[in-house]
Amino acid sequence: MATKENNAKRKRTKSRRIYWLHKYKCAKGCEKCGYNENGYALVFDHINPLEKNHYCVGQGKGGSGMNGLVKRIAHCDKEKNRQYIREIFEEIRKCKIMCMNCHTVESIKSGQHESNFKVFSYRKGDKELKDEESTLQMFLK
């Protein structure tokens, strides 16, 4: 049951988790340029986008990426929290840290922005990635 006390506790727990994730990102810095000033400008970039945890994918407003996993932590059940923290660490191991600028440039150069629909279909269960036609051509029909 949601009470004012529980809500306050959840907020403190979530802020503490975010604080430590930002501290970790700043300690590591961007793999390409070395930027490490602000944790908000650093992101976890999955080395293999197909291996993302399903909570990291399209959770809606403010919930994509690691936020999808972090927002699960702020529960009162300690056992669940431990499991969620383990999931975050597992996910971090699949990532490299990059600043937003380097991440955007690398995503464009590697073509990740063009293959988003194929990757989305793959994650949703259509395990065959089809290269017959581009996503743009599919939507123009």
Residue 25, pLDDT score? 93
Closest Cα to residue 44, out of 97, 91, 88, 87? 97
* pLDDT at position 93: 92
Say yes or no to pLDDT of 10 above 90.
Answer: no
Domain ranges for the chain, please list them.
4-110, 111-141
In terms of Cβ atoms closer than 10 Å to its own Cβ (0-12, 13-18, 19+), residue 65 is buried
- pTM listed for this prediction: 0.70
Tens-place pLDDT, residues 94-139? 999 999 999 999 888 877 766 666 666 666 665 554 544 455 554 4
- How many Cβ atoms from other residues are within 10 Å of residue 99's Cβ? 23
**Which amino acid, 79?**
E
For residue 66, what is the DSSP state?
T
What CA–CA distance (Å, rounded) separates 112 from 114?
Answer: 5
- Among residues 56, 49, 52, 65, which one has the least CA distance to residue 110? 49
Give the tens place of pLDDT for each residue, 20-49.
889 999 999 999 999 999 999 999 888 887
Handedness of CA 46, 48, 51, 54 (dihedral sign): positive
The pLDDT of residue 126 is: 56
Residues 6-24 as b or e (16 or more Cβ within 10 Å = b): eeeebeeebeebbeebeee
